Amino acid sequence: MIPEVILYTDGACSGNPGPGGWGFILRHPKSGKEIERSGGEAATTNNRMEMLAVIEGLKTLTRPTSVELISDSKYVLQGLEEWMPRWKANGWKRKTREPSSPLKNIELWQELDRLLSQHQIKFTHVKGHAGHPENERCDKLAANAAKQFRHR
């Protein structure tokens, strides 16, 4: 039997680009155990932080797992569900005809692709800053992580 977890993620950025942070909560519903982690970068974008929250959360899993990924990032969820399969089919390019514009954050999309291939993923979107307790907690984790990079 494959383990089941819920992964809540969020990213934050002060300026875009600017100092940013990511945060996640990984919950195992059957045992009630949770892991919270966060981190950040001095000069980044909100999209990169949203992606890193998912990457870092998935990297904590040590075996194939059924994951419900809950995020307020339409960019990440739409990218994973809709855009990434086309990019892969087009050789990690946005368009099939020249000139094709380079894919932003390609190294993160490729890492997400690698991690997703190891797990069964269900994608769930929640509205950000709307009182969802875990989303609010992840936002706080990300914002606090970003603060450490301000005024350096």
Which position among 4, 11, 18, 132 bears the catalytic label?
A: 11
The superfamily CATH assigns to domain 4-147 is Ribonuclease H-like superfamily/Ribonuclease H (3.30.420.10)
pLDDT tens per residue, range 112-136 = 999 999 999 999 999 998 999 999 9
Burial class of residue 13 in the structure, from the number of CB atoms within 10 Å of its CB (0-12 exposed, 13-18 middle, 19+ buried) = buried
Q: What do you get for the CA distance between the two ends of the chain, in Å?
A: 48
Which position among 72, 79, 119, 134 bears the catalytic label?
A: 72
The helix-helix angle for 46-59 and 133-147 (nearest 10°) equals: 110
Per-residue HEC secondary structure of 79-97 comes to HHHHHHHHHHHCCCCCCCC
| Residue 52 to residue 47: CA distance in whole angstroms | 9
Which position among 10, 41, 56, 134 bears the catalytic label?
A: 10
| Residue boundaries of the structural domains of the chain | 4-147
Backbone φ and ψ of 82, nearest 5°: -110, -55
Give me the pLDDT at residue 38, please: 98
**50 catalytic, yes or no?**
yes
**119 catalytic, yes or no?**
no
Query: What pTM was computed for the model?
Result: 0.94
pLDDT tens per residue, range 35-51 = 999 999 999 999 999 99
Give me the pLDDT at residue 97, please: 64
Which position among 20, 21, 39, 50 bears the catalytic label?
A: 50
Which position among 41, 56, 134, 139 bears the catalytic label?
A: 139
pLDDT tens per residue, range 1-39 = 899 999 999 999 998 899 999 999 999 999 999 999 999
pLDDT tens per residue, range 88-112 = 988 888 776 666 677 899 999 999 9
Q: What single string gives the DSSP state of each residue in 85-131?
A: HHHHHTTS-S-SSSSPPPPTTHHHHHHHHHHHTTSEEEEEE--TTSS
Give me the pLDDT at residue 93, please: 84
**15 catalytic, yes or no?**
no
**11 catalytic, yes or no?**
yes
Backbone φ and ψ of 38, nearest 5°: -155, 165
Give me the pLDDT at residue 96, please: 61
**113 catalytic, yes or no?**
no
**68 catalytic, yes or no?**
no
Residue 152 clears pLDDT 60, i.e. is over it: no
